[in-house]
Structures are given as C-alpha cells and as structure tokens.
Amino acid sequence: MSTGKLDGRTAVVTGAGQGIGRGIAERFAREGAAVAVVDVNEPNIAEVVDGIRSEGGTALAVTCDVSKRDQVDAAAAQITEQLGPISVLVSNAGVTRPAMLWKMTEEQWDTVLDVHLKGSFYWLQAVVGPMREARAGNIIFTTSGAGLIGSVGQINYSVAKAGLLGMTRSASRELAAYNIIVNAVAPAAATPMTETIRTDERFKDKYLEGIPLNRWAESDEIAGTYVFLASEDASYVTGQVISVDGGRTMVR
C-alpha cells in the first residue's frame, strides 16, 4: 500500500519536460499523486511519463503552450476527464530571453511575460473553479531570485517573476476563504536554463561566490519543497515565497 504524502492528489506540473519541473513531476508521482506532465516539448513529455509509469506511478502526457488560453483550457479539461479533478497546480513553465535593457526588443519582453505571467494566470483561472467547489486546493507558482533582488540582462524575466509574487499574494488572499492555499518557490538549480551562467567563464565563478552553499543544486533537490507545499503539512502556509537557492537571496 502506498503511503505517499500526496496520495489521492491530482497534480498539474507545467514545464515538466525537463529541469526543475521534471524533478517535481517525478517526485510527486513517487509520493502518490496522479501527475499531468504538461509541456510544449512532446518527446520530453513522453520520456517523463514513461519513466513515471515504469516505476508504477500514474502520469498523463499533456502537450500545451501555457501562453495560449485555449490550449490551457483544453488541457485542464483533458486532465480532469482522464485523471479526475485537479487538486494541485504547479506553475513552473518558463523561458528566458536575456538582453541588456537598452537592447531588449518588444518580442523578448512579450515572450517572457506571456509564458510566466499569462501562463500562470491562465492556469490559475483554469483550476480555481473546481477547487472553490471542492473547498480545497494547493497552488504553487515558480518565481526566482531575479524577482526578489533583480538580475542583470533580464529585466523582462525579473519583472515577470516579481509579478508572480503579486499573483501569489493576491490569489492567496482571494482564495483563503475557500481553503485554497497559494505559495511560491524561488529555486535555483543546474538545469538547461542556467547552463550559460554555470559554464561561461565570464559568469560562473562570480555567480558561485554569491551562493553561500557554494554549489548548484540538482533539480530533484528542489522538488521536496514543492511536495511540502502540495501536501497536508502546508495546510496553514499561504501567501509565502520560499527560496530554495543555497542562501543566495537571504537578507543581507
């Protein structure tokens, strides 16, 4: 008999094809959740779903561009039909389009804000109706140190991630009356997204010096915090942001 922390939960994890989202999807499945593996990268989705099923877990492959409302609504309907009502949302899909602010194009700005902000808001709206009816739900947004302390060459990303803090706090206040908790995680991990700052001679040593634990985390080292926020253990935690970043953004 499974005794996972997420037994009976149906979880959506966006951006679950690789990196942090993949680590979350795999850990959620091991903790007993039925997991919708949502991403735009179909081959990666298939690999993650196969891996979860081969361990005896329950997973559903869902192709969806989170920045397109019709695709989000269709995905939510498919998940509800095939896995049951959604009880946990992890909004994690993300992209970067770096440029110094004086060179940034409107397309770079729009792409990043659309994926992070619209993508998170579309998913929030897609799950909140059934969660309100159930008077239960756990919603977790993925922000970043960039949203807390800023980031050079990423004003679009920093604005999007700071916006997600506002989304977390307002949604947690609006939804508290329905027993729906809303939190955010600010992670840092060795994923494809961070390859340049981890490997480029211009950045890598300086960046590592700024991490008190002086190393990069693997994606599955981040997942435990999401398990906590998706579980009964977090029933009195809402409107918070938890940094899982080796201490990089601690108050100085």
Catalytic residue list: 157
Question: Does residue 246 bind ligand NAD (CB under 6 A)?
Answer: no
Q: Which residue, 153 or 179, is less far from ligand NAD as judged by CB? A: 153
Burial 97-114 (b: 16+ CB within 10 A, else e): bbeeeeebeeebbebbbb
Pairing status of strand 34-39 against strand 137-142: unpaired
Q: Which residue, 157 or 180, is less far from ligand NAD as judged by CB? A: 157
Residue count at the site for ligand NAD (CB under 6 A)?
30
Footprint of ligand NAD on residues 75-134 (CB under 6 A)? 92-95, 115, 119
The distance of closest approach from Cβ of residue 114 to ligand NAD in the complex, given in angstroms and rounded to an integer, is 8
Which of the stretches 40-48, 76-84, 165-173, 200-208 binds ligand NAD when contact is defined by CB under 6 A? Answer: 40-48
Which of the stretches 5-13, 33-41, 101-109, 132-140 binds ligand NAD when contact is defined by CB under 6 A? Answer: 33-41
Question: Does residue 249 bind ligand NAD (CB under 6 A)?
Answer: no
The distance of closest approach from Cβ of residue 52 to ligand NAD in the complex, given in angstroms and rounded to an integer, is 15
Q: Which residues fall within 8 angstroms of residue 62, CB to CB, at 6 or more apart?
A: 36, 37, 38, 45, 75, 78, 79
What is the distance between the alpha carbons of residues 166 and 213, in angstroms, rounded to a whole number? 28
Cβ proximity of 19 and 191 under 8 Å: yes
Site string for ligand NAD, 173-202 (x = CB under 6 A): --------------xxx-xxxx--------
The distance of closest approach from Cβ of residue 122 to ligand NAD in the complex, given in angstroms and rounded to an integer, is 10
Question: Does residue 21 bind ligand NAD (CB under 6 A)?
Answer: yes
**Radius of gyration for the chain, computed over Cα atoms and rounded to the nearest angstrom:** 17
3-class SS at 90? strand
Q: Which residue, 100 or 149, is less far from ligand NAD as judged by CB? A: 149
Please report the DSSP string for 166-235 in residue order: HHHHHHHHHHGGGTEEEEEEEE--SSGGGHHHHH-TTTHHHHHHT-TT-SPPPTHHHHHHHHHHHSGGGT
Q: Which residue, 85 or 221, is less far from ligand NAD as judged by CB? A: 221
The one-character DSSP state at 114 is: I
**Amino acid, single-letter form, for residue 88:** V
Q: Which residue, 47 or 65, is less far from ligand NAD as judged by CB? A: 65
Residues in contact with ligand NAD by the rule CB under 6 A: 14-15, 17-21, 39-41, 44, 64-67, 92-95, 115, 119, 142, 144, 187-189, 191-194
